[in-house]
Amino acid sequence: MLEFKKIELSDKEWIDRILSLSDYRGTEYCFTNLFIWDGTYNSRVGRFKDFLLLRAGTPGERYYLYPAGRGDRREVIEELMKDASREDGNLTLIGLTRETKAELEKLFPHMFKFKMERDSFDYVYDTDKLMTLSGKKLQPKRNHLNYFIGNYSWKIEDFTPDKVDEVVEFSHEWCRRYECNKIDTLAMESCAVEKCLKNYGGLDLKGAILRVDGEIIGYTIGEVLNSDTVIVHVEKAFQDYRGAYQFINREFVKKIAPGYKYVNREDDIGDEGLRKAKESYYPIFMLEKFTATLI
């Protein structure tokens, strides 16, 4: 019988090791995301041989992350089927890409129905494009960037663990200004961000802080996701500083991403404003996601 537990910071070493075996590019396959969003999704982790398992939701409405790792994938999925049946439901798998969807169809022909999940598509960008903002399409971004550079007394610095308290204070002010408590998606995100910040050092994240006249007006956090991709988890700035987002976005990518082909800026969770903002940077491709449910 499979066993699942609350994810803890001490699980990072073994989970990172298993995730590296699959080298998946999806945001779901990142310890930081599994850890900081566990309260929102009521998720628990488990291990079956050399596979990472994740179960979320509530009894009767359980779902499982498509397993990452190495070994007999048919065997591990059959174990998930048994677990789902004990939970009074059919197996539902999330986080499938076109590649893993094809793999599942080959292993279990005609046994699953699939649904495309647009709100979960990851926005993946060419690293060089984000570092240079070159080309006609990105001219508006360069205009905002140049305005910021020329009109504010700014400083960009590394986000080191000793600055967590100051960033937490900024994050709280950001939420007050933009009324996180009145918007469900921002309220959920604020909980995940709070957990991320409080565990910043232990998660071994990289970050940048943007100051104007000595005061924090923005910050960003990310890390290496797989062999060719870095991921940006958090990016916040005060919108009344024109060009702040464009500036910290570019500077952080220049710091964290050299040597990596892609930058994954995660999904838009169905938020129309966030969708427009991410589309405006012209991703090189969207990492499509599917849900699979046992028929």
pLDDT per position as a tens digit, 32-67? 999 999 999 999 999 999 999 999 998 888 999 999
The tokens describing 220, both together, are: 């960003």
**Residue 16 identity:** D
Whether 68 and 184 share a structural domain? no
Name the domain boundary from 121, 145, 161: 121
Q: Which residue has the tokens 């924090």?
A: 216
The tokens describing 192, both together, are: 């995940």
Predicted pLDDT of residue 212: 98
Domain CATH number, residue 32: 3.40.630.30
Rounded to whole angstroms, how far apart are CA atoms 285 and 236?
24
Give the whole-number percent of the chain exceeding pLDDT 90. 93
Task: Confirm whether 290 is domain-assigned.
Answer: no
Whether 130 and 227 share a structural domain? yes
The tokens describing 229, both together, are: 């991709």
Task: Confirm whether 72 is domain-assigned.
Answer: yes
**184-198 and 164-177 helices cross at what angle (nearest 10)?**
170
Rounded to whole angstroms, how far apart are CA atoms 201 and 194?
13
Residue 91's φ and ψ, nearest 5 degrees, are: -70, 130
Task: Confirm whether 69 is domain-assigned.
Answer: yes
Classify 59 as helix, strand or coil.
coil
Q: What is the mean pLDDT of residues 195-221?
A: 97
Whether 115 and 126 share a structural domain? no
Return the ∠ at Cα 161 (arms to 246 and 172), rounded to 5°: 60
Q: What is the pTM of this model?
A: 0.95
Task: Confirm whether 105 is domain-assigned.
Answer: yes
What string of DSSP letters covers 92-110? EEEEE-HHHHHHHHHHSTT
Do 243 and 230 form a contact (C-beta atoms < 8 A)? Answer: no
> Is the pLDDT at 274 greater than 80, yes or no?
yes
Rounded to whole angstroms, how far apart are CA atoms 110 and 113?
8
What's the full length of the chain, in residues? 295
Whether 112 and 129 share a structural domain? no
Task: Confirm whether 114 is domain-assigned.
Answer: yes
Give pairs for 249-252: CB < 8 Å, separation 24+: 249/130, 249/220, 249/281, 250/130, 250/131, 250/133, 250/145, 251/156, 251/208, 251/210, 252/207, 252/208, 252/220, 252/222
Whether 38 and 126 share a structural domain? no
Predicted pLDDT of residue 159: 98
| pLDDT tens string 209-259 | 999 999 999 999 999 999 999 999 999 999 999 999 999 999 999 999 999
> Is the pLDDT at 88 greater than 80, yes or no?
no
Task: Confirm whether 1 is domain-assigned.
Answer: no
Do 291 and 94 form a contact (C-beta atoms < 8 A)? Answer: yes
Q: Number of folded domains in the chain?
A: 2
Predicted pLDDT of residue 228: 98
Whether 142 and 17 share a structural domain? no
Domain that holds residue 99: 9-121
Predicted pLDDT of residue 101: 98
Predicted pLDDT of residue 69: 98
Whether 115 and 19 share a structural domain? yes
Whether 27 and 94 share a structural domain? yes
